[in-house]
Structure 1
């Protein structure tokens, strides 16, 4: 699903070619809330997985509409890599991720550490760590754990918090930030 999207004259191929101009549509820090409410013309997501070796770089929203095929590819990319189980990812979380990335003003893709987790994976992780919630939003496709080599956990968390759109957890010792589309809240150091 994440193979070459830029060959041929498909809609996604054309959108991929158009992605270079998407940078001009990126919001500034003060525009984050407007961006999440539809203030931008284009929304783009760039990630890679160290676990699967997969990469994704796509426009998933244009002029007020989500692109179904792109959203399906995001759901596949964010699947539970341990079991290959997948569910649709809540697009509010994807929007928070994209807005946070734009606020950080980086071209580097996120490293996705965890997206969707099936209940069995969540239970296994919970047995190994106190930091895993019993009813984690990961199991609903509403959360992601992310890392950027060029930005600190605090920088990423501040940008995510500026969106005023969900939960933000700082995991400094493990060098990642958790974002979700649940209640607005924050934790960690």
Structure 2
């Protein structure tokens, strides 16, 4: 092997070795790296039934972060059965807009995210109304929330101004329903 070949080989190994190392380390620091991007969108949630908390960057620019969506699907699982559904990423954008409209960095307190058809049926039959037969929770297009320090009426009004889907106001149960279906209010 001549000297020029050795140098070319060293450059190749140095470059590919550095790329491999960077690729291997990338999963260890994605949150800090993504959060520092100017067009990163993040959300934070506290689940009222499971006690779990999550805060992450779910999108950068026009792209959703697949690992974040997977984490959010698991977090927003049916808390009765443990079944994980697929949450509509547009719901996260709606929540992000809502957080900005409210001017808060407080996490959303989740009462209900994904709901399996079996859970939806059981709740519908055991409660005196309030659970739709074809609930958008079963399609991963709805969430029931509140925000610490934000009056429920203000949360509802901010959600309505976005005109991003349905907004339901449940004063007695202390939550606002938000979905990515057609625009409607109740």
TM-score by length of 2: 0.81
The number of aligned residues is 162
Q: Is the 8 A contact 2:167 2:178 kept in 1?
A: yes
Written as runs of structure 1 = structure 2, the 5 A alignment for 1:146-157 is 146-157=145-156
Could you give the per-residue CA deviations for residues 155-176 of structure 1, whole angstroms, max 9, x where no partner exists? 1111111211100111111110
TM-score by length of 1: 0.79
CA distance in 2, matches of 1:174, 1:83: 21
Written as runs of structure 1 = structure 2, the 5 A alignment for 1:27-176 is 41-127=39-125, 128-176=127-175
Unaligned residue ranges in structure 2 (runs of 5+): 1-23
CA distance in 1, matches of 2:83, 2:32: 27
**Quick one: structure 1 residues 18 and 93, their matched pair in 2 at CA, closer, same or farther if it must change by over 3 Å?**
closer
Larger radius of gyration: 2
**Quick one: structure 1 residues 14 and 143, their matched pair in 2 at CA, closer, same or farther if it must change by over 3 Å?**
same
Written as runs of structure 1 = structure 2, the 5 A alignment for 1:176-187 is 176-187=175-186
CA distance in 2, matches of 1:185, 1:179: 10
The structure in which a higher percent of residues are helix is: 2
RMSD of aligned C-alpha atoms?
1.8
Unaligned residue ranges in structure 1 (runs of 5+): 1-7, 26-40
Could you give the per-residue CA deviations for residues 135-184 of structure 1, whole angstroms, max 9, x where no partner exists? 00001100000011211111111111121110011111111000000001
CA distance in 2, matches of 1:11, 1:98: 24
CA distance in 2, matches of 1:65, 1:97: 16
**Between 158-167 and 176-185, the greater mean CA deviation after superposition:** 158-167
CA distance in 2, matches of 1:172, 1:12: 42
Could you give the per-residue CA deviations for residues 19-45 of structure 1, whole angstroms, max 9, x where no partner exists? 3x57xx6xxxxxxxxxxxxxxx22111
Q: Is the 8 A contact 1:16 1:58 kept in 2?
A: no
Q: Is the 8 A contact 1:166 1:179 kept in 2?
A: yes
